[in-house]
Amino acid sequence: MKTTLKGKHCITLQEWTREEIDTVLDLALDLKRQKALGIPHHLLKDKTFFMLFFEESTRTRNAFEAGMTQLGGHAHWLTPAATQIDHGETAKDTVEVLARYGDGIGIRNCTLGTGNAYMREMARHARIPVINMQCDIYHPTQALADILTIKEKFPGDLSGRKFVMSWTYAPRYVRPLSMPQSLVMLMTRYGMDVTLAHPPEFRLMPDILKQAEVNARQAGVKFEYVDDMDEAFKDADIVYAKSWGAMMHTPDEREALDLIERYPGWVCDQRRMGLTKPGSIYMHCMPADRGVEVTDEVMDGPHSVLYDQAENRLHAHKALMALTM
Ligand code: CP
């Protein structure tokens, strides 16, 4: 257990050791138990957490905000339009001032090419911890909740478990790469054999793939890519099936949207779940495109752990804030 996490930024879990991550997971379970028992745990009494959202959110915002209330502090919801950011105030000036008022800041900025850079710039100047609430590259707080959920569903050693990160067909908008990228890097570190499945145009960032390969090598596990959803699902213990964009193939949004339409068969359905191991789980960070990328039967069926997974956002965020702020 690490007791020296005060002030530590959380931009990507790759910058956190296994011991540090395990400390967060351990506290998250403790806080989950305390909440279930109705034991007050005002670990951040009178503290303030700023939540700066460049994009919309259901889970991230509300898990942080409710979590801060339960920890005895307060969370402010901010947007560029509700601050002077839309008028051009810099990341440095914004965070220098907010750090005089409060104790931590979370940022969601998924703009490709600048989202992560924006929060790195804030972290460079911040005297308070900066938490990445999702950017164009990573989504560490979701990944924390996901590994917490997997450890709850598969207690004990995770080695030999097959984790599948599969692309799905979900039209209408181009989803960020942050979720699959965070997961292939993290799950290899936790000793699982990771299979990444997607149509050829939906590649992840080269640096992320390289890092996942390094993580897998160091952990002595497999990290493989397939372009066939059925093949990926065979004998899986954990299926994480969600859509992401073809940004690594084309910078053109219209072309990226058209590419999605080439693969309407990439749906997580009961037949495919039948290819997985008995007792396997289906995961999705949500929002899921119900009836499109995944059938109702799977979302509401026995493999699904969606709502437990979403609940774990709350416990993981609380632990992360309590340890860093
Ligand atoms: N999974 C996730 O980050 O959900 P929100 O976009 O609703 O925060």
Residue nearest to atom 6 of ligand 1 (CA): 57
Q: Are 242 and 267 in contact (CB under 8 A)?
A: no
pLDDT in tens, 216-253: 999 999 999 999 999 999 999 999 999 999 999 999 99
Q: Are 41 and 71 in contact (CB under 8 A)?
A: yes
**Cα 239 to ligand 1 centre (Å):** 18
Q: Are 138 and 132 in contact (CB under 8 A)?
A: yes
Which of 59, 313, 317 maximizes ligand 1 atoms within 8 Å of its Cβ, making it the mutation to test the pocket?
59
Q: List the end-to-end C-alpha distance of the chain, in Å, as a whole number.
A: 17
Instruction: Show me where the domains of the chain are located.
Output: 13-139+312-324, 142-309
Which of 54, 56, 60 maximizes ligand 1 atoms within 8 Å of its Cβ, making it the mutation to test the pocket?
60
In the prediction, which pLDDT does 1 show? 86
Say if residue 213's pLDDT is above 90. yes
Give the CB-side neighbour count of residue 49, counting CA atoms within 13 A: 34
Ligand 1 is surrounded, with C-beta below 6 A, by 57-60, 134, 142, 285-286
Mean of the per-residue pLDDT values of the chain: 98
Band the pLDDT of 324: cuts 50, 70, 90: very high
So what CATH class is 142-309? alpha beta
Assigned token pair, 210: 């390289």
State the residue for tokens 């996490």.
5
Amino acid letter, residue 12:
T
pTM surpassing 0.85?
yes
**Cα 57 to ligand 1 centre (Å):** 5
Which of 51, 52, 57 maximizes ligand 1 atoms within 8 Å of its Cβ, making it the mutation to test the pocket?
57
Ligand 1 nearest atom to the CA of residue 58, by list position: 7
Residue nearest to atom 7 of ligand 1 (CA): 58
Residue nearest to atom 3 of ligand 1 (CA): 60
In the prediction, which pLDDT does 104 show? 98
Ligand 1 nearest atom to the CA of residue 141, by list position: 3
In the prediction, which pLDDT does 235 show? 98
The answer to whether the 13-139+312-324 and 142-309 domains have the same CATH topology is yes
Return d(Cα 139, Cα 286) in angstroms, integer: 13
Q: Cite the DSSP H helix spans in the chain.
A: 18-37, 59-70, 91-101, 115-125, 140-153, 178-189, 206-219, 229-233, 253-260, 270-273, 296-299, 306-324
**Cα 217 to ligand 1 centre (Å):** 31
Ligand 1 nearest atom to the CA of residue 60, by list position: 8
Picking from 173, 288, 297, 300, the residue whose alpha carbon sits closest to that of residue 242 is 288
The SS3 call for residue 85 is helix
Alpha-carbon dihedral angle through residues 63, 146, 106, 82, given to the nearest 10 degrees: -60
Q: Are 68 and 54 in contact (CB under 8 A)?
A: no
279: burial class by Cβ within 10 Å (0-12, 13-18, 19+)? exposed
What mean pLDDT is predicted for residues 172-192? Answer: 97
In the prediction, which pLDDT does 2 show? 83
Band the pLDDT of 3: cuts 50, 70, 90: confident
b/e 103-142 (16+ beta carbons within 10 angstroms → b) = bbbbbbbbebeebbebbebbbeebebbbbbbbbbbbbbbb
Picking from 239, 185, 175, the residue whose alpha carbon sits closest to that of residue 209 is 185
**Cα 150 to ligand 1 centre (Å):** 18
Amino acid letter, residue 183:
L
pLDDT in tens, 50-102: 999 999 999 999 999 999 999 999 999 999 999 999 999 999 999 999 999 99
What mean pLDDT is predicted for residues 36-53? Answer: 98
The CATH number that domain 13-139+312-324 falls under is 3.40.50.1370
**Cα 316 to ligand 1 centre (Å):** 14
- Those residues whose C-beta lies under 8 Å from the C-beta of residue 258, and which sit 6 or more positions away, are none
**Cα 177 to ligand 1 centre (Å):** 13
What mean pLDDT is predicted for residues 36-61? Answer: 98
Residue nearest to atom 1 of ligand 1 (CA): 285
